Chains A and B, each alone.
Chain A
Amino acid sequence: MTEPPLEVAIHATPLLDRHRALGARMTTFSGWEMPLQYRGILEEHRAVRERAGLFDLSHMGELFVEGPDAGEALSAALVSEPPRLAVGRAQYSMICAPNGGILDDLIVYRLAEERFLVVANAGNTPLVSDLLAQRIAPHRAILDDRSLAMALCAIQGPRSIEIVAPLANLDVASIHYYGIAEGVVAGIPALVARTGYTGEDGFEIFVETARAGELWDALWSAGRAHGLAAVGLGARDTLRLEAGMPLYGNDLDPGVNPFEANLGRVVRLDKPIDFVGREALRRIAENGPARLLVGLTMTGRGIARHGYPVFAGERATGVVTSGTLSPTLGRAIAMAYVAPGEAEPGTIVAVEIRAARVAAEVVPLPFYRRPR
Chain B
Amino acid sequence: MVPQDLRYTRDHEWVRLAGDLATVGVTKFAADQLGDIVFVELPAVGASVAAFATFGVVESVKAVSDLFSPLSGVVTEVNPALAGQPELVNSDPYGEGWMVRLKVADSAQLADLLDPAAYDQLIAEV
| Interface residues, chain A, with chain B CB atoms under 8 Å away | 1-2, 4, 25, 36-37, 40-43, 234, 237-238, 302-303, 305, 324-325, 327, 332, 354
* A2 with B62: CB separation less than 8 A: no
- Min Cβ gap B38→A in Å is 4
Between A2, A237, A332, the greatest number of chain B beta carbons within 10 A of the residue's beta carbon is seen for A2
Q: Decide yes or no whether B50 CB sits under 8 A from chain A.
A: no
A-B pairs with beta carbons under 8 Å apart, 6 shown? A1-B13, A234-B35, A238-B61, A303-B39, A303-B59, A324-B61
- Output the nearest chain A residue to B126 by Cβ-Cβ distance: A3
B side interface size, CB within 8 A: 24
Q: B11: which A residues are within 8 A, CB to CB? A: 1-2
Q: How far is the CA of A40 from the CA of B63 in the complex (A)?
A: 14
- Min Cβ gap B110→A in Å is 20
Contact of A40 among B35, B58, B59, B68 (CB under 8 A): B35
- Min Cβ gap B67→A in Å is 7
- Output the nearest chain B residue to A327 by Cβ-Cβ distance: B61
The 8 A-B residue pairs with the shortest CB-CB distance, nearest first, are A325-B38, A41-B61, A42-B36, A1-B65, A1-B12, A1-B11, A1-B30, A40-B36
Q: A1: which B residues are within 8 A, CB to CB? A: 11-13, 26, 30, 33-34, 58, 65-68
Q: Decide yes or no whether B57 CB sits under 8 A from chain A.
A: yes
Q: A303: which B residues are within 8 A, CB to CB? A: 38-39, 59, 64
Q: How far is the CA of A305 from the CA of B68 in the complex (A)?
A: 21
User: Which of B55-86 touch A at CB < 8 Å?
Assistant: 57-68
Q: B26: which A residues are within 8 A, CB to CB? A: 1
Between A302, A325, A332, the greatest number of chain B beta carbons within 10 A of the residue's beta carbon is seen for A325
Q: How far is the CA of A156 from the CA of B20 in the complex (A)?
A: 54
Q: Decide yes or no whether B41 CB sits under 8 A from chain A.
A: yes
* B35 with A41: CB separation less than 8 A: yes
Between B35, B38, B61, B67, the greatest number of chain A beta carbons within 10 A of the residue's beta carbon is seen for B61
